[in-house]
Every structure is written in C-alpha cells, then in structure tokens.
Amino acid sequence: MGDPKKLKRKYESPKKVWDSVRIEEEQKLLKEFGLKNMHELRVMQMELKKIRREARRLLSMGEKGRKLGKPLLEKVVRLGIAKPDTSLEDLLSLTIRDMLERRLETRVFKKGLARSIEQGRQLIAHGRIAIDGRKISAPSYLVPVVEEERIGYYKSVNFIPIVVGKAKESKEGEKVGGGEGSGKEE
C-alpha cells in the first residue's frame, strides 16, 4: 500500500499579513456570506485565482488560446460564475463575490429555504438539504445553474421544513409552520 501521499494546501496565505484594509474587507465577506472561518474564504480566493490565471495564460496565446479556452468558459458558465455570453477577457474581472454567490449555503438562503445564511449552513451540515433528492452535506458545494432549481429539503421522517414568511393559522387556532422547528406553538 505504501505511505499516504502528502496533501497540498488548498489556499495561499496573503503576502502582507497585517493589512488592515484587507482584513476589514475579509471580515465583511465572512459576515455577509456566513463563512465559518478564513480558511473557507481563502479556498474560494484560490479557485478564483486559478480561473483568472488560466484565462491570462490563454489570452497570451492569441487566437489559438481563444479556441483552447472554450472548456474553461463552459465550466465557468455551467457553474454560474459568469454569464453565457462571457469572453476570456471578462473572466479577468470576476470577483470573490461571484464565487461566494454560487455556494450552496448562499443558494439555500436566496431560494428561501432558510431565514439566514447561517441557518442555511446549519441545515446543510445536519443533512436537511438535498439537490434532486441527493443529500448534500458540504456548505461549500458550488451549485451548477442546472441544479439550482432542484435544491430542496431532504425527505426525512422527523423533519418539519421551515416556512419562511408569515405563519399560517390552522382551524384549531394554533400556528402551523414558521415556528422554531416544531411546527406548533404552545
């Protein structure tokens, strides 16, 4: 069997560690997108960096690079990071927000399955969210455009889905849905 191979880091640390402007911007992103820690942000920054680096390399090749860049463009459009009419030059203007918008926890919140991004993350981690009936337990999953409409609750016996919005009154006068998980208020 042999020794396990050495794992590579999935992110790079910033060159200037104590840059207050960068730190403030990163803290805003952490709060806005409900990220657990800087590691998650740095991994997304590295993915964006790979896409932009490949686009620069292909653009430097001229016309041949534009033809070879079709798979990269297709991947970025399929993931929903860029629009379908995007060119290689447009990939250089992508931002970290474009990447973070495609994470599953953000999509769950935007679709209205959770009241906040943090709650969306919790639902995913607890196995309550599925895509096309398949349970996904990674909040960092980048949701392709074709799978975005198939996001829903995972069908389990003990789970009552959260109804975002106003609670409905039943015939007996007790609230149904919109509760803190139980579905009823006592």
Q: Identify the CATH number of the domain in which residue 123 sits.
A: 3.10.290
Contact 82, 94 (CB under 8 A): yes
Please count the CA atoms within 13 angstroms of the CA of 122 that sit on its side-chain side.
8
Residue 91 placed within a domain: yes
Sheet holding 134-135, edge to edge: 134-135, 129-131, 151-153
User: Domains in the chain: how many in total?
Assistant: 2
Residue-level pLDDT at 8: 87
Percentage with pLDDT > 70 across the chain? 86
Residue 10 placed within a domain: no
Judged against a pLDDT cut of 90, whether residue 98 lies above it is answered with: yes
**Residue where one domain finishes, among candidates 44, 66, 100:** 100
Residue-level pLDDT at 176: 47
pLDDT confidence tier of residue 182, bands split at 50, 70 and 90: very low
> Are residues 119 and 77 both part of a single domain?
no
Residue-level pLDDT at 170: 45
Residue-level pLDDT at 185: 43
**Residue where one domain finishes, among candidates 81, 100, 119:** 100
Range with lowest mean pLDDT among 8-12, 34-38, 47-51, 115-119 = 8-12
Residue-level pLDDT at 92: 96
Domain that holds residue 117: 103-186
Residue-level pLDDT at 143: 97
Query: pLDDT: is 184 or 67 the higher one?
Result: 67
Judged against a pLDDT cut of 90, whether residue 138 lies above it is answered with: yes
Contacts of 147 (CB under 8 A, 6+ apart): 131, 132
What would the pLDDT profile of 163-177 be if each residue is shown by its tens digit?
Answer: 676 545 545 554 444
| 122 vs 137: CA distance, rounded Å | 10
> Are residues 148 and 84 both part of a single domain?
no
Query: pLDDT: is 159 or 86 the higher one?
Result: 86
Q: Which of 167, 160, 166 is nearest to 176 (CA)?
A: 167
Token pair 């403030």 in the structure block, residue: 24
> Are residues 88 and 109 both part of a single domain?
no
Return mean pLDDT, the chain.
88
What would the pLDDT profile of 34-89 be if each residue is shown by its tens digit?
Answer: 999 999 999 999 999 999 999 999 999 999 999 999 999 999 999 999 999 999 99
